[in-house]
């Protein structure tokens, strides 16, 4: 379980960096990585508690990171 959690954090960081590098977001590198990591943590624990998600933890991390990047910045913009 601890290796899955560490892998989730690493994948979320890579997705955050790649999203910022490709121009998908314009939050800043650190902010995008923090948003992705937070979304991945949330989805990881939802998966543990309720069993909702994909069968592979890597797909869960990618989907939750992209979802967090879409939801969080657009929610707080005017």
Digit-coded pLDDT (tens) for 51-65: 888 888 889 999 999
Q: What is the pLDDT of residue 62?
A: 92
- What confidence score (pLDDT) does residue 73 get? 75
CA distance 35 to 16: 8
pLDDT, residue 74, reads: 67
Check residue 64 and give its pLDDT: 92
Return phi, psi of residue 64, to 5°: -70, -35
CA gap 35, 68 in Å, rounded: 6
In this predicted structure, what is the pLDDT of residue 7? 93
Mark the ranges of the chain whose per-residue pLDDT is less than 70: 74-78
Cβ 78 vs Cβ 41: under 8 Å: no
pLDDT score of 24: 86
Could you state, in order of their start, the residue ranges of all structural domains in the chain?
Answer: 2-76
User: DSSP string covering 11-34, please?
Assistant: HHHHHHHHHHHHTS--S-HHHHHH
């Amino acid at each position: 379980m601890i290796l899955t959690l560490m892998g989730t954090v690493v994948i979320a960081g890579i997705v955050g960096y790649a999203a910022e590098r490709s121009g998908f977001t314009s939050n800043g590198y650190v902010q995008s990585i923090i948003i992705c990591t937070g979304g991945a943590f949330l989805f990881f624990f939802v998966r543990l508690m309720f069993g909702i998600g994909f069968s592979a933890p890597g797909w869960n991390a990618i989907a939750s990171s992209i979802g967090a990047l879409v939801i969080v910045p657009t929610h707080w913009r005017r």
